[in-house]
Chains A and B, each alone.
Chain A
Amino acid sequence: MMQGLISYATYIPKFRLCSNTIGWDNSSERATGNFDEDPITMGVAAGKICLNNRDTNNIDALFFATTSAPYQEKQSASIISSALDLPEETFTIDVTGSLRSGSSAIMMALDSISAGTHQNVLVITADMRIAPAKSSMDYSFGDGATALLLGKRNVIATEISRHSQTSSMIDSWRGYYQSMVNQWEDRFIIDQGLQATLINGINKCLAKSSIAPENISHLAMSSLNAKSNFQLANQLKIPTHNMNSILYDSVGHTGTSMAIMELCKSLDNCSDPDEIICLANYGDGSDVILFKTTHAIQLYHKQSINVMDYINSKLEVPMYEDYAKWKNLWAIGDVSRRPDASPTSVTALHREETKNTKLHGGRCLGCNYAQYPIQRICVNCKQSSGHSVINYSNEGSTLFTYSMDYLASSTDNPLVLATINFDIGGRMLCTMTDRTLSEICIDMPLEMTFRIINSVNGINSYFWKATPIRI
């Protein structure tokens, strides 16, 4: 079997900066992560959708591509791997520094599978890029993540050709001490970047595989914007009837994830085998991969969530001020003068990994009672009979009771505290995120989402929150 794609997913955060957002002053619509999201949490969300309750034990590598990792020193992939409950032996790596990191990670993953080093590789991309307020980048950047499961079994699309080339040109960049992205003049980027490396790369890739441009049914490309995507396609004589600008119009340029989101969207629209998809990614050069769909694509769609589902599931950010708070661009005064959060004990964080990051609970082997977190002595039968592990992060729940605290938090006001009962048994106290206050009621169905709970001294404490079932 040829190596290729087994599963894919896009995660688009729920909130949108849009024309109804007071202070946004722009007609564009952009997806933005909530205050408790970052590339790691978005990556976990995409990974969860992609894995879709698959057995994680046969995944042996995780490549995480981002340019906006929360840590300068400390791997993000290892945290994602833990939250996704991947085996300890999983090879993890962050691929970073370029908007091309995602496609490069796919290439390395395919090579690794082809070489027999790894059987099943998860490639996750996520970016949450910050730009100066109300700059053209601010109006065009969006947040989002993708996940691809690559391997040789049950592939829905196989790799048929690829080409990469590199360029040292500086077009967009973020220096070591800079929090915001800078971009050079777009006309320069179009002439010296897109034309020189992206057009060239696609042409060379097509030549390698002897596939004519008109035989490409889907062009999954990341360039500057939708307009330049269409111009490039026309120039290349690649049919544009399957192309649209929905991601640029409704989500924004998602950086490392952009081309791969286009790939996911293309796959959503592939219903037949032998369709050719061209993944073309730009950044410090270009990566181009040609995929061909297999018969497995038909069965696959019956169980997958589409990119459009995430685009259509949204909440409006009320005010640009909220966005500024979420991204720490606006120092927030605390009316209640709440004491500073205590520093995180990484010792405790490490010891509690299965409880906090993996959200493991247990079912007593003696009396079958389900409980979170794992108890050495069963709360029901009071015996130490051992337990089977329940991964509660995959489990559905309902809201048993809740409150809305108007003083507990300045970024998430009111803070919704929830006691949830899992459908398979077990209870948890947590906060609720991505919620609409008026829709909160007892017995509402919920799902779990991995989020930042606390951030002190550069250490992010990640944990799970409940959220209304999104799709």
Chain B
Amino acid sequence: MRGIKDRVAIIGMGCSKFGERWDANASDLMIEAVQEAYMDAGLQTDDINAAWVGTASSFRTAQPVAEALKFNYIPITRVENACATATEAFRNASYAVAAGIYDIVLAVGVEKLKDSGYSGLAIPEAPNSGVTPSAPPPSQFAMAATRYFHKYGISLDEGKNTLANIAVKNHHNGSLNPRAHFQKEITHSQAINAPLIASPLGLYDCCGVSDGAAAAIITTPEIARSLKQDYVLVKALGLSVGAFGMLRDDWDFTYFPETVKAAESAYAEAGITDPKKEVDLAMVHDCFTITELIIYEDLGFSNRGQGSKDVEDGKYSLEGSLPVNTDGGLKCFGHPVGASGIRMIYEVYKQLSGKAERRQLKKANIGLTHNLGGRPGSFTCSIGIFGSADTA
């Protein structure tokens, strides 16, 4: 297997303002993100050979993309893979370039959630028997928190303390990001004392439900070099799909096998043997604070059961040895389902090319994105590893 390492490059990216975009529909959001990506790459609509669009529920076909962006009858594919949808669009677009089919392609993720009139996540369901237990995402992930605390002998207060630390960190990072949905710092006690959503998770343990879009223009490293200096190379794209957590009674909720497997394959593809040292920053799928805690361990950033201590030590803050969710994460940047994966790549791209403004890290050569769709026991996990142009 040759893998994807250094075979494709990102030459332009864009990201809409995330949030409650009462002013914008899905097309408006896509246009906002894609026009920024064109500007960044110095390209135009007709330079794009093919496009992939990821959306979970905003539209069902690719035609709205052609209509919004006025593409001239090029191939466009709509993909969907739950909350990992955008990374899936990016992955398929990358493979098409690596296969030599196209020279320059667009991957765009978009979601318009705030037209539902509902503050939670409203995803339409296929006709069904109606017996599936009502289990919104907070209650699903809260089950992981309950079991994690139990396994490591963490009291409810201690556990909520750790989760609050993660929320405070991500709110701080979000406060430095003008495109984030939430740009306010919160205090530790605000997080601890927030109303419960699904015990043990409170309001600040849950990410925002937002509108937004993000886009990437992908090409070969050769073409990238001809266009700009500060392109970013794709080092790995790992994907793992699992569905056995509820069929087997021996999985314990304190790790997500899909993340572990996707990370294994991505690290192997990128040639990373010690992620703690070799990865400079990561954008991970913090749909809930407990998810971020478990991800630290699944990605090998923290040893098993040590996530809480590493958070307390500040390892994952902007000043830490492995900053995580420098852009505020899903928690504060927001989570328009079909856009989030490419939003993560957007921040890594900005950091690796030295354009992350107030959030810019001193050392940013290898960045990782981790995008998780589904629920504990049944996930699609998509991991991307990216390197600055000088890592080839």
Tell which of B119, B128, B147, B249 touches A342, judged by Cβ atoms closer than 8 Å.
B128
B148 and chain A: residue at smallest CB distance: A401
Contacts A336-B120, A425-B249, A431-B134 known; A405 to B197 CB distance under 8 Å? yes
Contacts A342-B125, A348-B128 known; A401 to B247 CB distance under 8 Å? no
Q: Does A453 sit at the interface, judged by CB under 8 A?
A: yes
Contacts A339-B116, A421-B249 known; A462 to B131 CB distance under 8 Å? yes
Interface string of A331-353 (1 = CB under 8 A from B): 00000111101111101110110
Taking residues whose C-beta sits less than 8 angstroms from the other chain, chain B's interface range is 35 or more
A422 CB, nearest partner CB in chain B, Å: 7
Q: In the assembled complex, which residues on chain B have CB atoms less than 8 Å from the CB atom of A345?
A: 127-130
Q: In the assembled complex, which residues on chain A have CB atoms less than 8 Å from the CB atom of B140?
A: 403, 417
Contacts A401-B150, A407-B138 known; A427 to B130 CB distance under 8 Å? no
B133 touches A337 (CB 8 A): no
Interface string of B240-251 (1 = CB under 8 A from A): 000010111100
Q: Does A238 sit at the interface, judged by CB under 8 A?
A: no
Tell which of A403, A408, A421, A426 touches B134, judged by Cβ atoms closer than 8 Å.
A408
In chain B, positions 305-320 with a C-beta closer than 8 Å to chain A are: none
In chain B, positions 18-68 with a C-beta closer than 8 Å to chain A are: none
Q: Does A389 sit at the interface, judged by CB under 8 A?
A: no
Q: In the assembled complex, which residues on chain B have CB atoms less than 8 Å from the CB atom of A461?
A: 129-131
Q: Which of B130, B145, B198 has the most CB of A within 10 A?
A: B130
A405 touches B136 (CB 8 A): yes
Q: Does A160 sit at the interface, judged by CB under 8 A?
A: no
A403 touches B139 (CB 8 A): yes
Q: Does B99 sit at the interface, judged by CB under 8 A?
A: no
A414 CB, nearest partner CB in chain B, Å: 7
Q: Does A419 sit at the interface, judged by CB under 8 A?
A: yes
Contacts A345-B128, A453-B133 known; A427 to B248 CB distance under 8 Å? yes
Tell which of B129, B131, B198 touches A407, judged by Cβ atoms closer than 8 Å.
B198
Q: How many A-B contacts at CB < 8 Å in the complex? A: 149
Tell which of B120, B133, B136, B246 touches A427, judged by Cβ atoms closer than 8 Å.
B246
Q: In the assembled complex, which residues on chain A have CB atoms less than 8 Å from the CB atom of B150?
A: 401, 442
CA distance A431 to B198 in the complex (A): 13
A454 and chain B: residue at smallest CB distance: B130
Q: Does B118 sit at the interface, judged by CB under 8 A?
A: yes
A429 touches B127 (CB 8 A): no
CA distance A442 to B148 in the complex (A): 11
CA distance A178 to B119 in the complex (A): 37
Q: Does A130 sit at the interface, judged by CB under 8 A?
A: no
Residues of A participating in the B interface, judged by any CB pair closer than 8 Å: 336-339, 341-345, 347-349, 351-352, 356, 370-372, 375, 379-380, 400-409, 414-415, 417, 419, 421-422, 425-431, 442, 453-454, 456, 459, 461-463
Sample 14 A-B pairs with CB under 8 A, ordered by A number. Answer: A338-B120, A348-B128, A371-B247, A375-B247, A379-B244, A401-B144, A401-B150, A403-B146, A405-B139, A406-B197, A407-B138, A417-B198, A431-B134, A463-B133
Closest 10 CB pairs of A and B: A403-B142, A461-B130, A463-B131, A405-B139, A345-B127, A344-B130, A401-B147, A454-B130, A404-B199, A405-B198
